[in-house]
Amino acid sequence: MADGTTGSVRQTLGALFEAAYTTAHPSTCLPPHLPEVPAGGRIIVIGAGKGSAAMAVAAEEHYIATGQAEGISGLISTRHGFGLPTKIIKIMEAGHPVPDTNSVTGAQRAIELAKSAGPKDLVLCLLSGGASAIWAAPVPGVSFEAKQALTKQLLKSGAPISEMNCVRKHISQIKGGKLAAAVYPAQLLTLAISDVPGDNPDEIGSGPTVADRSTLADARAVLAKWNITPDPEIAKALADPQNETLKTGDSKLANSSYAIVAAPKASLETAGRIASGHGYRVIILGDDLEGEARDVARKHAEMALDAKRRGEKIAIMSGGELTVTVRGNGSGGPNQEYALGLAIALNGTPGISGLAGDTDGIDGGGGNAGDPAGAMVFPDTLKRAEAFNLNAARMLENNDSTGFFRPIGDLILCGPTQTNVNDFRVILVDP
């Protein structure tokens, strides 16, 4: 293939990305897991996340279609710009990745609804990626402003999501199993769309309904590792044993059950089947990759170049959640930074193209609903950029991947997808 920017390659990359996120859409993955309304009781729906509004819609449609709508009520919190019209379950939009006052209000109302459940009721928690910020309920003694500031520090540090959530759990009244404690002794079922490497329930949305493996000491160690000096009230809270999360065996978790309805692995496998249909040998590196975006891009470029030298037709796919250590003042999330690093490492090698995108439709934690999901890379990417006087290496150092890809038209602009199974990356190598 002499020209990697041909429409067919662009269409193939786009089709693979679309397959990855549509596989995890709540309308597809949620209905088979929805419970019946308990006899003589209600289903109280609560939840949070970037995919949770669509989960609420799917749940509503199911219960309306099965004649059970009268037994349903509740409130879901989602990211600003991700709300959807509903008939029964109320939707509240809140801040992400930095919580806002709606994050606090939504979390408090969820706790109140949880505590209102009677012995015949079932609390249904619909959880998806982003809930850690979208629900914010600081422990007594920690101000909302202090929690906001800490979130910003963690985001800027480059800490992986698991470590960020470890800290957030221990200054929260809803994370780390504490929502389950509010529901107890009523029955609780959590249905989750996983966005975390390894699909650990205690990390999805910071595990509000399950036991937590991390400790206060772990949270303090994370801050020390990333050289973060917290506000004094945060430091005090992380030293208070009363703020420890629930652990395995806690009686307040006895009536709680949990199921993952969609996960990155299934999305990668779906995209892999499509790539196979296009004649590619598919290599899936895993659904739990972590690391600095530009470093991972270099490693993946080396794999692609090796395959090219061997004359192989392969598709290299991966998921997980990469990070960016912010040093410049440009714009762009980890997927765009990965794509820019990939373009530099490939240096216009013919026959190699790639895509990196966030399956929620917005790259990284920041941004707005109209921002890019990621970017594509083709053999002529650097050449086309030169026509706009864009210096790839300099823009990478300034963390300005959006500024690089926007002029050349290679950003992915799909809008909110109403789900979130983390990042999706693919490199197509043609002999």
Q: Nearest CA to 137 among 82, 194, 190, 178? A: 178
| 403: amino acid identity, one letter | G
Beta strand pairing call for 256-262 and 187-193: parallel
Strands 314-318 and 423-429: antiparallel
Give start-end residues of each CATH 3.40.50.10180 domain in the chain.
Answer: 26-263
**pTM summary value:** 0.90
Please determine, looking at this structure, whether the domain spanning 26-263 carries the CATH number 3.40.225.10.
no
What is the location of CATH 3.40.1480.10 in the chain?
Answer: 4-22+265-429
CB-based contact 376:17 (threshold 8 Å): no
Between the alpha carbon of residue 23 and those of residues 19, 49, 112, 133, 268, the distances in Å are 6, 17, 33, 25, 9
Q: Which option is the CATH number for 4-22+265-429: 3.40.50.1360, 3.10.580.10, 3.30.420.40, 3.40.1480.10?
A: 3.40.1480.10
Per-residue model confidence as pLDDT tens for the chain (431 residues): 334 445 799 999 999 999 999 999 999 999 999 999 999 999 999 999 999 999 999 999 999 999 999 999 999 999 999 999 999 999 999 999 999 999 999 999 999 999 999 999 999 999 999 999 999 999 999 999 999 999 999 998 989 888 999 999 999 999 999 999 999 999 999 999 999 878 999 999 999 999 999 999 999 999 999 999 999 999 999 999 999 999 999 999 999 999 999 999 999 999 999 999 999 999 999 999 999 999 999 999 999 999 999 999 999 999 999 999 988 999 999 999 999 999 999 999 999 999 999 999 999 766 777 899 999 999 999 999 999 999 999 999 999 999 999 999 999 999 999 999 999 999 999 99
pLDDT of residue 318: 98
Q: Which helix (H) or strand (E) holds 125?
A: strand 122-127
| List of E strands, 231-340 | 256-262, 281-284, 314-318
Is the sign of the CA dihedral 86, 89, 93, 96 positive or negative? negative
Residue 196 pLDDT: 84
